[in-house]
Amino acid sequence: MWRLGKIFTGYDGGNISAESSDTQHPSQESNHLLHDIAQLTKLRTQSHKLLTQNVPGKSKSPVSAVKMLIGRESNYSRSGNFSLADKSNILSRYLPVNGPCCIDRIRSRVYISQFSVDGSLFTAAFQGSYIRIYDVEHGWKVHKDILARGLRWTITDTSLSPDQRYLVYASMSPVVHIVNITSGSAESVANVTDLHDGLDFSVHEEDDFSIFSVKFSTDGRELVGATSDNSICVYDLHASKLALRIPAHTADVNTVCFADESGHLIYSGSDDSLCKVWDRRCLITKGQASGVLMGHLEGVTFIDSRGDGRYLISNGKDQTIKLWDIRKMSDKAVRRPRVRDDEWDYRWADYPVHAKNLKHPHDQSLATYKGHQVLRTLIRCYFSPVQR
Closest CA to 171 of 232, 218, 128: 128
CB atoms within 10 A of CB 111: 21
The pLDDT assigned to 184 comes to: 74
Q: Please say whether the beta carbons of 302 and 254 come within 8 A.
A: yes
Task: Tell if the pTM clears 0.85, that is, is over it.
Answer: no
What is the reported pLDDT for 332? Answer: 86
Domains and CATH numbers, the chain: 110-336+358-370 (2.130.10.10)
Q: What length is written for the chain?
A: 388
* pLDDT digits 0-9 by tens, 216-226: 999 999 999 99
Contact 238, 231 (CB under 8 A): no
189's enclosing H/E stretch is: strand 187-189
pLDDT for residue 375: 83
Contacts (Cβ under 8 Å, ≥6 apart) of 196: 148, 149, 150, 177, 178, 179, 188, 190
What confidence tens digit (pLDDT) does each residue in 119-161 have?
A: 899 999 998 889 999 999 899 999 999 999 878 888 999 999 9
The residue ranking higher by pLDDT, 337 or 354, is: 354
**Dihedral (CA of 180, 240, 269, 347) sign:** positive
Span 282-309, average pLDDT: 90
- The answer to whether residue 26 scores a pLDDT higher than 50 is no
Percent of the chain with pLDDT over 70: 78
The answer on pLDDT for 259 being more than 90 is yes
Rounded mean pLDDT of 273-300? 90
For residue 290, give the DSSP letter: S
Q: Give all strands of the β-sheet with 222-227 in edge-to-edge order.
A: 211-216, 222-227, 231-236, 241-247
Q: Which residues have CB under 8 Å from 300's CB, separation 6+?
A: 254, 255, 269, 270, 271, 273, 274, 275, 314, 315, 316, 317
| For residue 19, pLDDT beyond 50 | no
Q: What is the DSSP letter of 329?
A: -
Looking at per-residue confidence, does 376 or 228 come out higher? 228
Q: In the predicted model, what is the mean pLDDT of residues 308-321?
A: 94
Which pLDDT does position 31 carry in this prediction? 43
337 CB-side CA count, 13 A? 11
Least confident interval from 75-79, 159-163, 211-215: 75-79
